[in-house]
Structure 1
């Protein structure tokens, strides 16, 4: 599958199952700890980029509730529309993250949960380099990646009769990509999920 076809499959999947995705995963308590730790690192009124923001829940809502300014980006028009309704204090745009144009050193933090893994593998390292460039010195990156290398699709995603597609490298490769981007990896932890899992990285720009 070529890159644009894969992205279109991801977009259509989230357009179709935006609400079902929230129903399936909003009970995940792991988000609370991840968000709380980020909040402790942020100064008052920080500017945060949420890449793959989904419907704005729970990340963007928690950040704006704490007084931070959030720009959320998602490839799904339905997700962005719902985010604008659910988190009216945030700013949300529909865009392909790999084609996003933003000023350098303009964010205090970039958050990306379960979004990089929906991007074609050869576009992920360049995106991480751009993320590093969007961060101000001392800025934070918090994101999830693959733990083991895998590319594939699921035909009946979330039982909704629509397909979904993923592609990710292993954790060691993501660590290398982050470091090559100029980010200092402060912590890396395995996040178990079912029979497999993902990796959560916390890093900062020097």
Structure 2
């Protein structure tokens, strides 16, 4: 059996693109977050999917976006939609984030798809890819819980707010806000401490 680094999303890529391209859920929060970054800031969109609607909102805000996703089909859809945006086909937990540091990082709809250890590791990796003062926005339920992903049927899990805040703190990131969008998705917003 081949290791599916996309956590099941390669097999359901078409359904995922169709669902995400029809919704603006969370876009207002992403836009608000983007406005907190430098006017010509750089952002890495981790688990970008086809780029709709998150990458589109970041570009509309005037930011320079680099993106990555583990699903070849989703990366191909991204390239068709955003041919001028740098994108890599690789799992977030193995990424070097283009060997650069960014003003911001987003991981919308990704964190809870990863095993618990990989979630903790990814937070540390993101901290390393942020400039001092850089911001990280990601979604995960506030409560510690587990459930089956609607599209893939695979197990998803949230570490819960207390654990996310602890892991972020250990990585040098302070939670500065939490948000809930119109679909009742929970967002953690963190900022990297100055060196």
State the TM-score, normalizing by the size of structure 2.
0.86
Query: Structure 2: how far apart are the matches of 1:103 and 1:55?
Result: 19
Secondary structure of the structure 2 residue equivalent to 1:55 = coil
Secondary structure of the structure 1 residue equivalent to 2:88 = strand
Query: Structure 1: how far apart are the matches of 2:7 and 2:119?
Result: 20
Partner of 1:163: 153
Query: Structure 2: how far apart are the matches of 1:15 and 1:43?
Result: 34
Query: Structure 2: how far apart are the matches of 1:64 and 1:192?
Result: 22
Higher helix share: 1
From 104, 107, 117, the counterpart of 1:109 = 104
Query: Structure 2: how far apart are the matches of 1:99 and 1:25?
Result: 25
1:22-58 per-residue CA deviation (whole Å, 9 max, x = no partner) reads: 3334444432211211221122221101111011111
Partner of 2:148: 153
From 113, 120, 129, the counterpart of 1:118 = 113
From 71, 89, 94, the counterpart of 1:94 = 89
From 183, 190, 194, the counterpart of 1:203 = 190
Query: Structure 1: how far apart are the matches of 2:41 and 2:27?
Result: 19
Distance change in 2, residues 1:12/1:103 (3 Å): closer
Secondary structure of the structure 2 residue equivalent to 1:88 = coil
> Superposition RMSD on alpha carbons, in Å?
2.5
> Which range moved further: 99-108 or 64-73?
99-108
Distance change in 2, residues 1:65/1:36 (3 Å): closer
1:129-180 per-residue CA deviation (whole Å, 9 max, x = no partner) reads: 11111110111111112333234535xx44xxx5333122112211111111
Q: CA shift at 1:99, angstroms? A: 1.2
Partner of 1:184: 174
Give runs of aligned pairs for residues 1-206 of structure 1, distance below 5 A. 8=4, 11=6, 13-102=8-97, 106-153=101-148, 157-158=150-151, 163-190=153-180, 198-206=185-193
| Unaligned runs of at least 5 residues, structure 2 | none
The number of equivalent residue pairs is: 193
Query: Structure 2: how far apart are the matches of 1:105 and 1:176?
Result: 25
